[in-house]
Structure 1
Amino acid sequence: MLYQRDYYICNPYTKQFVHIPPSSRCLKEVRVGFICDPYYKEEVDLKQESNIQVDSDFRFAIVRIVPQLSDQYCSAFKFDAEIFSSEMGRWTQSVVDSPRDICLDSLDRSGGIAYNGMLYWWSAHDGFIIGLDPYYYSSNKHHDYYPAYFHSIDVPFIPNGYRFSHLSVSQGGRLRFCHFKNGVPVPSVCVWELKDDKGGQEWCCLTGYISLRPMVHQSLPYYEWGRHLVDSVVVLAFDPSNDDIFYLQFFDRVVACNIHEKKFKKTRLSIPCNSVVRFGRAVFPFVLPRWQTPLPRLK
């Protein structure tokens, strides 16, 4: 988990993997993100017939954001990023200029989220999401700030007592985030979705506040709620094939939550308690593709 500079790209469907050349810098902790173009594109013609086009020149990129060397939270308008792209075939280093002060140490450790050709991280300390275009920074020698290549997204106001839990992309291609409240006597979770309509960005609340009272009653007596819930309830992922479903780690069990029905259902899956809190995201959405995506040979 620490001082890591070796990375592998894996295709779980084909069970193939490729070893990425190690980064030249071995740092205690970095924030990592991965983005990959789709191997095939589905186009619909005027007759409403589907046409599948294979993109043999698809590309991928890995980003390492380097936190400031400090034992305390500190902010900066510039930060270092190491980027490996399939187009370059090697690690490149860039200085990213930000229009806003960012506390890099508070960026989500679970990994960057790929959305609309960019990688996004949530900053819990700053209260907004940052987005970076890895392909631009891996191939451009200039480090000037351009809004199209790096920008931030403000999130809706989160009431006191709620903490951010998860940033993800839905099956329909919308950016979503959840926040969780360890409230007594009613702990709850809320889901938001970003609407990119008519050139503007607006957050829409999908759920209101979903009470976790039914699940708590089945798991803990009343007097133990506050002591155990903080590190034992984590939003894991949204269902990759059903936008209405997201998954929670509820102590050592995985629970499916239906957004519209606001109902919970236990699954057969289990995760060791606190594993997500300690080590970041323990699961990720995965959909079996129509065609397998081959791992490209590196130059």
Structure 2
Amino acid sequence: MDIHDLPELVLVEILCRVPCGKFIFQCKCVCKRWLTLISAPYFIDRFLRLQSHRKTPTVRTLISRNAEELFNRVSLSEVLTPMLKRLESFDHLETEPVVVGTYNDLILCCDSLFDQHNYYICNPYTMQWVALPPTPTRCYDIVRVGFICDSPYYEEDDPNGHVIQLNAKFRCKVVRILPPDRQFVFDHDEYCFNFNVEIFSFETGKWSELVVSSPRGISYDYLDAMAFSYNGVLYWSGHDYGYFLVLGLDPFKDNSSTSTSSGSSNGGDIIDHKCRFVVFAMPVADHFVVECLGVCGGLLRMCDFDTDTKTLFVWDLKRQDHDYMVKGAGELCLSKHNVYSFDQDMYPDDARVVERLSFDPNNDDIFYLYVDADVLMCNIRTRKWSKIVEKRKLNNFYFFPFVLPWWPTPVPSLPQHAHQLAHGGETSS
């Protein structure tokens, strides 16, 4: 019997046993019947239930701004790099787009690192992408940008994985914190209590321009450009004299009444009291430079590495609850603080370049260092280390988490008027 003659229910059971979702998407190209079948909610639900029953592990990896995978675990660079080149050709960009944010398997990229005006969201495994309308403001600096969804595309409703809930109407937001205007500067160090923020919503297909207040004065230059999503909030790490800071923003509380789609707007003249920053501040010695290295074990992990003493300092933060409060912590509080001393022979004292890279997204105890073009893997518990990559040149040391879920996340769709704006057309308001 030919496979095309099989009853639909039998064909579903066969296709659902394809090893992973990215191969399933390739099966959509076989014929219209398979395309319709694989796109049906029943098929997706059945496939996810089988993965849950098998306890199929979720694969996580790390990618750089240049779309380079730190370790070739899912061959991401092999599909992402050609896709970015297609974007460059399709939209006639001057350079290949750079990665500026991720959420699970969705990637936010931009036409330039320093002049971020045109953004794209893509899924490299489904080869889907969408162009956002141009930002209202052109900024010739590295803006603080973040990308977040209010929920994953699917989730298990109970610990045993018996119920799979599809979130087909999940919402996505892109957030830009712009350099401060002079009117908000209150001293020569440019510490600000209010920031111009632009938030793009896929529901409206428009950028909202807001002025968002902070409970603490913050220097924009001391904020990291890279944001992390944690429990529905975007966080940027930063530092001040004697403190490390974490600036948080829930973009799903933005005030849509100040939205605009292009050009200038008066939205920046009014402080939005519904959308506010929260700030966590922890006192540290002045020589510390603490950065966020992502979410580990359900906690937001902050780190500093002393290259001279080969010592790693770790602060794990969690969402504030009623049992453990830290004064001034806002929505975050300290969960635990640990100090790890590494083997003094791990690298020579005269090493020219020593840079912290990241924790392993699949193992919270594994920490990676870049030493003179070599990548070292260190276990913070056992103190064992090994050189896993030799003589590899890295162009930057910032890596974004990338998750390959059981089923690929569809790229969110835009309203028709937003599609026209994204491709240089005009639309009536």
TM value normalised by structure 2: 0.58
| Of 197, 211, 214, the match for 2:342 | 211
Residue in 2 that maps onto 1:237: 358
- C-alpha root-mean-square deviation of aligned residues, in Å? 2.6
The equivalent residue for 1:97 is: 213
Partner of 2:311: 188
AA in 2 matched with 1:153: F
Task: After superposition, give the CA deviation of every residue in 1:69-109 in whole Å (9 maximum; x if it has no partner).
Answer: 57x74111111001112122111100001111111121102
Matched, 1:33 2:146: yes
Cα offset for 1:198? Answer: 4.1
Residue 161 (structure 1) aligns with: 287
| Cα-to-partner distance string for 1:126-162 (whole Å, 9 max, x where unaligned) | 631110111212536573446x84211123x433433
Q: Secondary structure at the match of 1:135?
A: helix
Does the 8 Å contact 1:239/1:285 carry over to 2? no
Q: Which has the higher contact order (CA 8 A, sep 6+)?
A: 2
Shift in Å, 1:209: 3.1
Q: Is the 8 A contact 1:39 1:293 kept in 2?
A: yes
Q: What are the residue-to-residue correspondences of 1:251-262 with 2, within 5 Å?
A: 251-262=372-383
Counterpart for residue 276 of structure 1: 396
Does residue 150 of structure 2 align to residue 150 of structure 1? no
Task: State whether residues 248 and 278 of structure 2, in contact with CA within 8 Å, keep that contact through their aligned partners in structure 1.
Answer: yes
SS of 2:157 mapped into structure 1: strand
Report the Cα offset of residue 38 of structure 1: 0.6
Give the Cα separation in 2 of the matches to 1:192 and 1:12: 33
1:213 shift after superposition: 2.6
Shift of the 213–2 alpha-carbon distance from structure 1 to 2, 3 Å rule, reads same
Structure 2: runs of 5 or more not aligned: 1-112, 183-187, 259-269, 325-332, 416-429
Instruction: Point out the structure with the larger strand share.
Output: 1
Which one-letter code corresponds to 1:294 in the other structure?
P
Residue aligning to 2:178 = 66
Output the CA distance in 1 between the equivalents of 2:172 and 2:343: 39
CA distance in 2, matches of 1:132, 1:270: 39
2: distance between equivalents of 1:270 and 1:39? Answer: 39
Contact 1:115 1:169 in 2 (8 A): yes
Residues in 1 aligned to 2:392 and 2:181: alpha-carbon distance in whole angstroms: 33
The secondary structure found in structure 2 opposite 1:286 is strand
Check the 8 A contact 2:198/2:208 in 1, yes or no.
yes
Question: Which of 289, 303, 312 is equivalent to 1:178?
Answer: 303
Deviation at 1:260, TM superposition (A): 1.5
1:114 CA displacement: 0.5
The answer on whether the counterparts of 2:210 and 2:272 sit within 8 Å (CA) in structure 1 is no
Q: C-alpha deviations, 1:207-265, integer Å up to 9, x for none?
A: x1333632213xxxx4x34xx3xxx3333232222222232222322222222222222
The 3-state SS of whatever aligns with 1:105 is helix
Identity in percent: 39
Residue by residue over 1:154-188, the C-alpha shift from the partner in whole angstroms, topping out at 9 and shown as x without a partner, is 23x43343322433111x321111112232xx232
Distance in 2 of aligned mates of 1:270 and 1:108: 28
2:153 counterpart letter in structure 1? Y
**Counterparts of 1:121 and 1:174 in 2: how far apart (Å)?**
15
One-letter code aligned to 1:151: V
Contact 1:165/1:180 (<8 A) preserved: no
The separation in 2 between residues aligned to 1:203 and 1:18, in whole angstroms, is 38
Q: CA deviation at 1:287?
A: 2.2
Distance in 2 separating the partners of 1:196 and 1:135 = 17
Shift in Å, 1:286: 1.8
**Secondary structure in 1 matching 2:200:** strand
